Amino acid sequence: MAARRVALITGGGRGIGRAIALAFAREGLAVAVAARTRRQVEGTADDARDLGATALAVALDVTEPAAVGTAVREVARALGPVDVLVNNAGIAESAPFAKTDLDHWERHLRVNVTGPYLLTREVLPGMLERGWGRVVNIASLAGLAGAPYVSAYTASKHALVGLTRALAAEVAGQGVTVNAICPGYVATDMVWRGARNIAAKTGRSFEEAVAVMARANPGGRLIEPGEVAAAAVTLVHDERTNGETVILDGSPRN
């Protein structure tokens, strides 16, 4: 990349988002890390600065249209216009379909699909005008296949993959790429919460529950956040890949 690029990463306070922000910092990008409260991402921003990057902590509820516009303008004033958008903020809650009420359903769609829609709509025109941009959506293997007890999550991630492919077709040949990364279970707080939930409901130990989730990945192991971050870095540098779903399932090919 010839000039310093500016990246905005949502859900940047921990796990995958934090790993991506720090990987981008090492690559020389200026990074804006966003979460619902500024306190959640101040540590990530500080660590990015320790790596020599210019960094900004941003408070952002991705489901609020006005807040999205305000946050993007804040990033532009402090760092410059957003060149790289990583839609990482997301939720994952389980429930049998019969107990998936409307609030549960709509909450997943708001955070996992509408949030990326709002952010992408805010930054994409500038990317197209400048002739360079990257949108990286953090989806899931659940965006490519079905799984029991997570109908809302699965539907939302399928929708995010569909949005990725539609936008990629729309911006093709204009210097902007839109891709999705689809990891299996990743060693993050989200998985630890899931393991505790499994343990509470089944009587298994926490360690046994984690092992169950690891075995659910085709490679038989949990994905590390750094693996997702490495894939995101590759997509930022890659001018040709567009509309792809990068699968991270723990298999040797990954």
Active site residues: 153
Radius of gyration for the chain, computed over Cα atoms and rounded to the nearest angstrom: 18
The C-alpha angle with vertex 62 and arms to 92 and 192, in degrees rounded to 5, equals: 25
Residue with tokens 């991506």: 20
What would the two tokens of residue 175 be? 């210097």
The C-alpha angle with vertex 211 and arms to 105 and 227, in degrees rounded to 5, equals: 75
Reported as type and span, the H/E element at residue 58 is: strand 55-59
- CA distance to 22, 186, 209, 217, 253, per residue, from 248 (Å): 19, 9, 21, 9, 9
